[in-house]
Amino acid sequence: MDRMRFLLICAVLPLSLIACSQKVTEPERAPATFKAPATIAEPAADVHFHTKNFVQEGIRLSEVIPILDSAKVKRAAVFGIPLQQNWDMSTGVKPGYYLHDDQELYYYSAVDAFLALEFQELSEAQKPRLDPMIVGFNPTDGRATDHIRNMLLRFPGVFSGIGEFSIEKEVVSSKVAGRNANINDPALDNILRFAAETGLVVLLHCDVDAIISGNENQPTYFQELSELFARHPETTIVWAHSGLGRFVKARPEHTKLVAQLLKKSRNLFIDISWDVVLNQLLDGEGVLLPEWKEFLMENSQRVLFGTDVVAPKSADYAQLVGRYHGLFQQLPEAAAENIRIGNYQSIFDSARRKIRAWEMANS
């Protein structure tokens, strides 16, 4: 854990950002200047739904279904969070969110088994709506693939992918116990190769830039990411938030750089999840920024809708999904349909077929 780095970040961030980042179970509300959410008329598929938070509290999969219904979301990729924040009782501070203090985070593998057991309790009508994902592995561990393999073979018929797991993530990475994951880690290559072999969809969080970037020419992690994606052309990777975040902001050339990566790697996709990232795609009136509109129209087959909610309540969820529908309505119908649901269906339907076949062949 790098305590100095955490304190430095806290010192340079505006207090308002720290304050607004403390919400856990509900998405941030849009500034008052945003237009009211669009009505939700069309079905969608959410590629980014966390059922648990950083202290492994949250909702069960049976509770996810009515929340999806509240926003006409037909399908969702569902997963916990790989990390649990340690509560050092000698300090007297019981953490509720990873930004509250600098106690360590550690990998909590039980999260995947709990998710699988919850999935098995669903009705046969509910199960096809969810794509559970494996997250409880340490991406610096050469044996991470053993955990993924064990989950697939112990719970056949359940999982569709791995993630969201993080390599470089603002504020979080420096708090993870042990060695920080990095983009060139051979263990990460191992994981991505195994995903290609089994057909698992990978939902990867890796910031494109450092919070305070020392590189004026290009985002800090862009080159290494580009090489990582190029090394794994057969792995279906959804790059969460296209590398943006609460503090990692899009440079003016961001959409051009992402388009370059998509052009080079045919199995690479991005999601536009997280309310703080959605805010970077829209102006203060809720209108899509011209560079994003052009990017989404040209790359609509490579972009997925997602919310990145963490154990939400139904009203919060429907409100956030409504804001995304406001974005979809500014795109031509065919492009909007791809992003809203079409890409999700083709990626996950194909993944399910491959994984079930792998499970049969290896059981």
- Which residues sit at the interface with Zn ion, rule CB under 5 A? 164, 308
Cα–Cα nearest to 51, from 260, 317, 352, 339: 317
> Taking the complex as a whole, how short is the minimal distance between the CB of residue 322 and Zn ion, in angstroms?
20
Q: In whole angstroms, how close is the CB of 358 to Zn ion at the nearest point?
A: 26
* Cβ closest to Zn ion, residue 131 vs residue 164: 164
Q: Do 130 and 176 form a contact (C-beta atoms < 8 A)?
A: no
For the chain, give the number of residues. 363
Q: Of 25 and 218, which has the nearer Cβ to Zn ion?
A: 25
Nearer to Zn ion, 78 or 327 (CB): 78
Nearer to Zn ion by Cβ, of 160 and 359: the residue is: 160
In whole angstroms, the minimum distance from the beta carbon of 177 to Zn ion comes to 20
The span from the CA of 139 to the CA of 21, in Å, is 25
Please report how close the Cβ of residue 336 comes to Zn ion at its closest, in angstroms.
Answer: 23
Q: Which residue lies nearer to Zn ion by CB, 250 or 331?
A: 250
Minimum distance of Zn ion from residue 49's CB (angstroms): 9
Nearer to Zn ion, 250 or 335 (CB): 250
Least CB distance to Zn ion at residue 50 (A):
6
> Minimal distance in Å, beta carbon 56 to Zn ion?
15
In DSSP notation, 41-100 reads -S-EEEEEEESB-TTS-B--HHHHHHHHHTTTEEEEEEE--SEEE---TTTT---SSTTT
Tell me whether residue 185 or residue 308 sits nearer to Zn ion (CB atom). Answer: 308
Q: Give the DSSP H/E element, type plus range, for residue 202.
A: strand 201-205
- Which residue has the closest beta carbon to Zn ion? 308
Torsion of CA 289, 295, 301, 303, to 10 degrees: -60
Six-digit token string for 329: 């309505």
- 239-278 in b/e form (b: 16+ CB < 10 A) is bbbbbbbbbbebbeebbebbeebbeebebbbbbbbbbbbb
Instruction: Read off the DSSP letter of residue 190.
Output: H
The values of phi and psi at residue 222, to 5°, are: -60, -50
